[in-house]
Each structure stands twice: as C-alpha cells, then as structure tokens.
Amino acid sequence: MEQKVSCLTGWISLSLIFVSSCSLRNQKGVPVTALAQEIIALERSALDRWITFDPQGYLDLSAPEVTYFDPFRDKRVDGLEALKALVEPIKQFKGTITEPRYEMIDPKVQQYGNVALLTYNLTNYGKLSGGPESVLARWNSSEMYAGVGGTWKLVHSHWSYTKPDVKPRTP
C-alpha cells in the first residue's frame, strides 16, 4: 500500500510540473493569467479588424464614456459618439496598402480591482502600391479596460508613435 501511495504521489507531482510548464507564458517567460489572455484576445480581435480598415471592432469594445488620445489629435476625444465620428472616414479608405498585418509586442495586463491596463507595442506592416512589405508604423499603446455588466469594455485608449522624429522648436 505504501508503494502505491508513493507512486501516486510521484505521478501527481510529475503532472503538476507538466501542467505548470505548459502554461501560457509571454515573450519574457512570465506566466500569463486568464484575465490577461482574455484582455489580449479582445484587443487582438479589434486589431484584426482595424488592420483591414474596419474600426467596428474597437467601437464594439468601447464603453459609452470612452476617452481617446492619438498623435493626430490636439486634445482628448470624449465619448463613443465622438469616437464613431472620428473613425467614420476610415471605413471609406481605399488606399494602396495590401497584405496588411501587425505584430503585438510584449503585451502586459495589470489588474487593479475592476480595471485592467493593457500596454504593448504594435508594428504595422504592409505592401504599398504592390512593392515589398515594409514597416508602416510603430506604436505604443495603452488601453484601459473596465468590467462593465459582466464584460470588459474599453474606457480609455492612448496611442503614440514609438521613437517619433521630434523636431526641435524654433523660437
């Protein structure tokens, strides 16, 4: 009987080691929580649509009181209706970008109660006018999600260029 218990304990230990070694980890080897997986999946779903000039994924994720910053705005955009008006022209875009894709780099989710902050870098790729694939833009992204009615909603979005070419001001 003692040998069976010892053998069973060994199998349980091996199973736990196997399960823990197979858990999802980020690029730095840090285990990714279920919440992080959920938030990152929501963001990727919106990005999958955005990269094809369909902003509806982000609009569907956004809470009515969402706020938004990007490098093309002089001030904050307040509310879902204002955000819808801002992104409406994107739906009409008939540009020359083909084979668009993106890379979400080092996503990190930090939870604070009923709020989760997702930060990551984004690199957009595509072919312009049938040319070779090139980097189209590199971004820093901060996305604030809040638990609203049992789902995660985007309540704040902030986008900036990674290492922008900032020109010094002349007096």
Domains of the chain, residue spans: 32-161
Nearest to 59 by CA among 149, 146, 157, 134: 157
The pLDDT tens digits for 23-76 are 455 555 545 689 999 999 999 999 999 998 999 999 999 999 999 999 999 999
The pLDDT tens digits for 128-161 are 988 899 999 999 999 999 999 999 999 999 999 9
CB count in 10 Å sphere of residue 43: 25
- Look up the CATH number of domain 32-161: 3.10.450.50
Long-range contacts of the stretch 85-90 (C-beta < 8 A, 24+): 87/55, 87/58, 87/59, 90/53, 90/54, 90/55
The pTM of this model reads: 0.78
The pLDDT value recorded for residue 54 is 93
Question: The tokens of 28 are what?
Answer: 């730095």
Give the whole-number percent of the chain exceeding pLDDT 70: 81
Pairing of strands 77-78, 62-69: antiparallel
Fill in the amino acid letter for 90. Answer: I
